[in-house]
Amino acid sequence: MDGLVALAIGLVGGLILTPMTRRVALALDIVDRPGELKTQRVPIAYLGGVAVALAAAIGPVLAGRAIVLIPMGAALALGLADDLRPLAVPLRVVVELGIASVSAFVVPGPPLARIATAVLVLGLLNAVNLLDGQDGLAAGVGAVIGATFAVLGGAAAPVGLGLSGALLGFLVLNRPPARIYLGDAGAYFVGTTAALLPALCLDSGTRWSIWWVVPLLVAVPVIDTAIAILRRLRAHRPLLSGDRSHVYDQLVDRGMTIRQSTLVCVASQLVLGGIGLIAAHAAPTVALMTTLATATMIAGLAWRLGFIESGNGSNTGIHG
């Protein structure tokens, strides 16, 4: 019941707050401007992440885990600071490490679960930010991830559904062609929240199958980041350089529209998350083998279809 309430409040909050934050962003000139490497032709408002965060905040409260709002809020603040004025990489890394450490402290579970949470925060905070380079993509995938973890129950239900509802409300103005972006603030918030969900699932401290399938439950951000890194390594380019290495960019380069590319990625997360949910209820060994087999199949498919080949395309611009 708490999950459904969080979903409803998150959705209504997202619908109401998104246009409000858009007006504030435009008034304060907090926008992503057109440029040679950008996809949009007019300035697009940032601050969408603030609307999502405010709308999703009800989830941890209803779950009785309001303490997790600390790392979630810290991630939002870090991203907002980066939106207003790009931060130096060393400073950003130090703050991210702090957020990961706090996350490990506030989630329930044994030491290994807390360590895994910290690692997830560092990974997903950045992976979702990299995924947020196409209209509706990070929000759509994030909504699926939140709902998927919610199925596993526990505190993850209201937290995950609150996030999903907020992102669905936000998508009304973020779907292609977007009128507002998540910004780094929103991407960091969504990534951190998603990383907290495994530890909040029912019985996650004793049912280790859940942890073995986490790569499937957050598959699209992980796959996209891994492929982008491999392509840059093969092309001998800096890992932090912008280019068209991302899966969603490659789909557009192969003839899809932005809308179609986004839908393919969201559908992929839905399918892989579904496989993960089934495996989460199996024995730990079966869950692990399912994840490894699926990862091997995806890697083989990506290689065969040429997604890992080094490319020289230029960056279209990450929305943040």
In a domain, 104, yes or no: yes
CA separation for the pair 273, 229 (Å, rounded): 23
Mean pLDDT (whole number) for 155-174: 97
Residue 32 confidence class, pLDDT cut points 50, 70, 90:
confident
What range does the domain containing 102 cover? 2-304
Q: What is the mean pLDDT of the chain?
A: 90
The vertex-130 CA angle with 124 and 133, nearest 5°, equals 135
In a domain, 125, yes or no: yes
Identify the pLDDT of residue 317. Answer: 39
In a domain, 225, yes or no: yes
CA separation for the pair 3, 5 (Å, rounded): 5
Task: Reply yes or no on whether the pLDDT at 216 is more than 60.
Answer: yes
CB 78 within 8 A of CB 100: no
Mean pLDDT (whole number) for 12-35: 91
In a domain, 317, yes or no: no
| Residue ranges in 64-136 assigned as alpha helix (H) | 69-84, 89-106, 111-131
Counting the structural domains of the chain, the total is 1
pLDDT (tens digit per residue) in 59-85: 999 999 999 999 999 999 999 999 998
In a domain, 261, yes or no: yes
In a domain, 311, yes or no: no
Contacting residues for 2 by C-beta, under 8 A, at least 6 apart = 62, 63, 157, 158
Identify the pLDDT of residue 316. Answer: 40
In a domain, 316, yes or no: no
Identify the pLDDT of residue 124. Answer: 97
Residue 10 confidence class, pLDDT cut points 50, 70, 90:
very high
Identify the pLDDT of residue 65. Answer: 95
Mean pLDDT (whole number) for 3-20: 96
Q: From start to end of 111-265, where are the E strands?
A: none
pTM of the complete model beyond 0.75: yes
In a domain, 93, yes or no: yes
Task: Reply yes or no on whether the pLDDT at 17 is more than 90.
Answer: yes
Nearest alpha-carbon partner for 215 in 297, 158, 153? 297
Residue 287 confidence class, pLDDT cut points 50, 70, 90:
very high
Identify the pLDDT of residue 315. Answer: 40
Nearest alpha-carbon partner for 51 in 156, 163, 178? 163
Nearest alpha-carbon partner for 246 in 266, 259, 233, 231? 231
Task: Reply yes or no on whether the pLDDT at 250 is more than 90.
Answer: no
Mean pLDDT (whole number) for 121-138: 93
Residue 313 confidence class, pLDDT cut points 50, 70, 90:
very low
Identify the pLDDT of residue 312. Answer: 47
